[in-house]
Amino acid sequence: MTPELFLQKKAAEAVRVLYGTEVAETSLQVSVTRKEFEGDYTLVVFPLLKISHAAPEATGNAIGAYLSEHTPEIAAYNCVKGFLNLSFSPV
C-alpha cells in the first residue's frame, strides 16, 4: 500500500469518527508535501468543509490531532490554511 492510499484510508476513518459521515477514500486528495513546508504528505482539507462546518484550519487541526493520536505512523502534523501536512514517524 502506498503512503497516499494509507493516508486516504486513515483520513476517511478520521472523518467518519469526527463528523459521522462516510467519505470515499479516493475522494481525498493526498500528495507529497511541497519542499517549502514541513511534512511528508499533504491532505487537502477544503473539500471536507461542507462536512465539518468549520474553518479550514479548525478542520485540518481536528483531523491532524485524530491521526496523530490514533495512527502510530504519524509523528507530527501542521495545518497551513486548508492544507494538512503530515510527517511520518522514523522507522
C-alpha closest to that of 11 among 56, 57, 55, 44: 44
Task: Indicate if the pLDDT at residue 71 is higher than 80.
Answer: yes
pTM for the model: 0.93
Residues 67 and 74: beta-carbon distance below 8 Å: yes
Give 84's pLDDT tier (boundaries 50, 70, 90): very high
Residue 45 has pLDDT above 80, yes or no: yes
Percent of the chain at pLDDT > 70 equals 99
Average pLDDT over residues 49-54: 96
Sign of CA dihedral 78, 80, 82, 87: negative
Q: What is the pLDDT of residue 90?
A: 80
Residue 53: per-residue pLDDT: 96
Residues 6+ apart with CB under 8 A from 68: 74, 75, 76, 77
Q: How confident is the model at residue 91 (pLDDT cuts 50, 70, 90)?
A: low
Residue 89 has a pLDDT of 87
Burial of 11 per CB tally in 10 Å (0-12, 13-18, 19+): buried
Greatest Cα pair distance in the chain: 36
